[in-house]
Amino acid sequence: MRGHESVHARHKVSRIWLSLTLALLILAGAQQALCWSLKEAAEPYRGVTIRTIGEALPPLEALDKLKDKFTKETGIEVIIEQYAHEEAVDKVMLDLNSRTGRYDFIIQPHRELGRFVENNHVVPITQFVENPKLKDPNFHPEKELYTNLWKEISWYKGKPYGYPFTAITMFLWYRQDMVNDPKEKEGFKAKYGYELKEPEDWQQYHDMAEWFTRPDKGFFGTAIQGKRHVALWYEWLNFLYSFGGDVFETSKGYEYGPIIVNSPEAVESLDYYKGLIKYSPSDTLNYDWDGVMAAMQQARIFECIMWNDATYAVEDPKQSTVAGKMGFGMVPQGKGGKVGQVEGWSYLIPTGSKQKEAAFLFMQWALQYDQQLFQQLNGGASPRPDVYANPEVQKLAYTKAALQTMEVAKPKATFPESPQVTDILVLALSDALSGQKTSKESLDWAAVEIHKLLGDRAPMKYPVK
């Protein structure tokens, strides 16, 4: 009996020790969380200047407005260089290869990630995350960011190389005021036999493009980003995925796999896409995203597929004649279901960076809720889901569409040759749109060229005779 009591007592003591240890650990963690401050962490870097580069769009413009707040708190000066999409990418490639270390951190699209990692141009952020002097214990990216997005756009082969700067997808823009117009509703129903409303599938999208095309009034149903430019590839991917196609049969961006870009679904999607030219302004084959956005801002088109980080500009009354008249929704549904394409720019730290730690502190700070909220309200596309729950953000007309698309957005290739694959596809698509080749000929050509580039790592699932 005494023996039993003794065991019981020992267990009790063990439990007390365990509880005490746990309490101490929690206290230590809490103390660390309470004790860590950005100001103290940044003290060794006070007075240094860090420089970054990214695409000149509202999210980066918003960050530029925020940077002084960081400087005030840390004494670290921040210089943000803003360029057009392709220029921002080219400048970074030159800097990374010449190893001049001009940029202490870079903001780049995720299709470039493989090139950077495989050529040792960027460093994993693990070394900073594991440094208690640098890591903000209150920041939990795995919980606070869209985890899938983060792992897709800032991780490569299981290692984190940065944090997402934006979570951008493309979705449907349309003129809600026209959809709600009783005369339009009546006429549309008489012709097509169903209610005029937000287009939910490609047939409806086509019908509405046709219905609203009125060239005599300088108004068109839609506009496509048909210029030989990377915008063309991005836009078509929405059609491709939605029609049930893809470029490669892989599940991860860094994986090589069978080429399926010339599948029947892909050809069908390109045929459909090409068919929209007749409902677009005459210069649509010379439009990139800026051209289509301007057409919408000037109230010259009814609907288009556009980026969410451009939405701010169409809802800003100073820049747009259709502010407050717009509706936003998911990319129309096809055989591939409701999908979108995810793209995102990431904060990355180059190997040649001279101020890696200060850059990490800035990245971490920029992802805090307050900064993200400011960015979101000024045209950002935050990678933090909690920002979208803010009542002010909820009021934005495009928040719902952005959130819905994020849930179903598909990743794309990030291996080192992926920008070359993009270049091949841009030419193939441009050839098809300009009428030089049929959709099938163009995509067959692209499949062969991609296979030549990647060799046995990417066999052709649909061989070309």
Partner 1 sequence: MITGWRRILLDKGVGPLFLTPSLILLLALLVGPFVYMVVVSFTDLSFAIPNHTGNFVGFDNYRKLMRDDPLFWDSFWTTIRFVTAALSIEFLIGLSLALLLFHSIERHRIILTLILLPMMLAPVAVGLMWKLLLQGEFGMLTHYLREVGIFGAQTAPLSSYTLVLPTMILIDVWEWTPFVTLVLLAGLLSLPREPYEAAIIDGAGPIRVFFDVTLPLLRPIIALVLLLRGIDAFKEFDKVWILTGGGPGSATELLSIYTWRINFRNWDFGYGAVVALMVYLVVLILCSLFYKAMNLQQGGAK
Does residue 213 touch partner 1 according to CB under 8 A?
A: no
How, if at all, do strands 301-307 and 409-410 pair? unpaired
Per DSSP, which regions of 320-384 are E strands?
326-329, 340-343, 345-348
What's the number of CA atoms in the CB half-sphere (13 Å) around residue 276?
Answer: 30
Min separation Cβ 286 and partner 1, Å: 4
Q: Which of 44-52, 145-153, 320-328, 412-420 is the region at the interface with partner 1 (rule: CB under 8 A)?
A: 412-420
Taking a C-beta distance cutoff of 8 angstroms, is the pair 348, 198 a contact?
no
Nearest 5 degrees, angle CA 100-CA 104-CA 106?
100
Does residue 253 touch partner 1 according to CB under 8 A?
A: no
| Both structure tokens of 296 | 């919408």
Min separation Cβ 105 and partner 1, Å: 20
Taking a C-beta distance cutoff of 8 angstroms, is the pair 109, 413 a contact?
no
Does residue 229 touch partner 1 according to CB under 8 A?
A: yes
Choice between 87 and 200, CB closer to partner 1: 87
Per-residue interface string for the shown chain with partner 1, residues 434-463, x marking contact by CB under 8 A:
xxxx--------------------------
Residue 307 host element (H or E): strand 301-307
Min separation Cβ 426 and partner 1, Å: 9
Q: Candidates 290, 423, 448, 460: give the one binding partner 1 (CB under 8 A).
A: 423
Does residue 218 touch partner 1 according to CB under 8 A?
A: yes
Q: Candidates 431, 439, 444, 446: give the one binding partner 1 (CB under 8 A).
A: 431
Q: Candidates 108, 166, 284, 320: give the one binding partner 1 (CB under 8 A).
A: 284
Choice between 97 and 319, CB closer to partner 1: 97
Cα gap 139→369, rounded to integer Å:
10
Classify residue 368 as exposed, middle or buried by CB count within 10 Å of its CB (0-12, 13-18, 19+). Answer: middle
Taking a C-beta distance cutoff of 8 angstroms, is the pair 262, 204 a contact?
no
Cα gap 365→3, rounded to integer Å:
58
Does residue 417 touch partner 1 according to CB under 8 A?
A: yes
Q: Whose structure tokens read 């451009």? A: 310
Choice between 300 and 338, CB closer to partner 1: 300
Cα-trace Rg, the chain: 25
Residue 148 host element (H or E): helix 147-153
Does residue 411 touch partner 1 according to CB under 8 A?
A: no
- Closest by CA position to 98, among listed 345, 357, 359, 350: 350
Per-residue interface string for the shown chain with partner 1, residues 103-122, x marking contact by CB under 8 A:
------------x--xx---
Per-residue interface string for the shown chain with partner 1, residues 297-336, x marking contact by CB under 8 A:
---x------------------------------------
- Return phi, psi of residue 148, to 5°: -60, -40
Min separation Cβ 372 and partner 1, Å: 32
Q: Candidates 37, 131, 286, 319: give the one binding partner 1 (CB under 8 A).
A: 286
Cα gap 299→309, rounded to integer Å:
19
Q: Which of 59-67, 193-201, 223-231, 390-398 is the region at the interface with partner 1 (rule: CB under 8 A)?
A: 223-231
Choice between 238 and 280, CB closer to partner 1: 280
Angstrom CA distances, 183 to 323, 408, 444, stand at: 22, 35, 45
Does residue 419 touch partner 1 according to CB under 8 A?
A: yes
> Considering only residues 165-204, where is the footprint of partner 1 by CB under 8 A?
none
User: Which residues are at the interface with partner 1 (CB under 8 A)?
Assistant: 90, 93, 97, 115, 118-119, 215, 218, 226-229, 281-286, 300, 416-417, 419-420, 423, 427, 430-431, 433-437
